[in-house]
Structure 1
């Protein structure tokens, strides 16, 4: 076969990869997402160090912040716990979602996602699957933080239902925020770079909030930023639910914020992911 005939054959040959990417129904998308979520849970079982950040951090940070800052901020540890526990919980869950983007970038660098190119699956499934599995990590962090808080004297006034509602809200907020870091993972050049960028985003938002100190004790310019910081809305919502059992406007604002973040960054992550595939 001559070179010219080979070129003609290549030009007329249908794109095999394109043919394996038909329209995927919503039901198939959900099934594929859960399949890839199961794959991610198997990775967790084989690499338990992936859970260290949601196991060690709640234990360490809760005890450390309570006994170091409790007396200075609220006079004693017991008085500080209703302020601190929801804040620590928000910090733990939100910083845990940074690992989502890092692990995604590592899989992409290892060529794992190259295998998905020829599979007839929805392009959101490889992204949403691991994120569904990460709900396990957020749940572990939530349960441990509340457990440590109760062990050192925290008594949530919202009762069991208030605590559960606060935990579910924070898990949802962590999952929505994970879409930001998933997008960063698809555009970053390396796992180290993704981690650096993600921490530069998350740590200012977390610490420049009302998570650990009342906002009215801050300078005026910083208090103004803290009040509009979305993390502050999440922390305030968690406090209202756990400490008082109240569904306030902070809860509404937090839910709206979650929907906005997902609506913006989920399409961005899928779009950049498709370009890299």
Structure 2
């Protein structure tokens, strides 16, 4: 049996030598890519001055901050923190809801099987891509300057940032629908409105809701960061406590955020599983 196996391996080496040993130029290319990657990594670490001494000092200071956070304590601001947490949740919910309502017609307009005009489709998709490149934190800074401090700026930042992403995701979902229900509606005399309402929308609605729920989870975390730049909510409370070096209350707020996000993630995951 061993002799047969050895003979089979020898035959494979003769007929398919590339399986056992890559050609020299491929090995050189692979080594060149790895050396290039290591060179870029080394240059990046040098550029940001990531020296071992600096890392060690940072870890020591981080350990000191952790000791200052223990035990987490709300102090006299427990109800203020709870109110700010609900404000953050409301900010994320309203921003996601507004984005969904606005992006729904944009998704249908951006789908090739709904609007077959390639020039319109190309322009709308590039419009989505252009605005998707702007981070929500940038939108928050813009709207804080435009409408002032508070949750309204955060809602606008989340809504505007998510509209373009929803529009692209919805359009792609609509383009991938099964044509059999669509053909069935047309065959029974339905017009374009009936096709969209009865043939397309029932197929894509679960996918859309799955995206919306996922983004709501993400927006709860984003709303916390937006609060730090002036959009209100629990992020503003956290920023204030860090600014005055009140680390015990800062740790309590961080724990509140972690627990809230975990609860929302668990609920959202179950809802998405039912929808899908």
TM-score (norm 1): 0.28
Larger Rg: 2
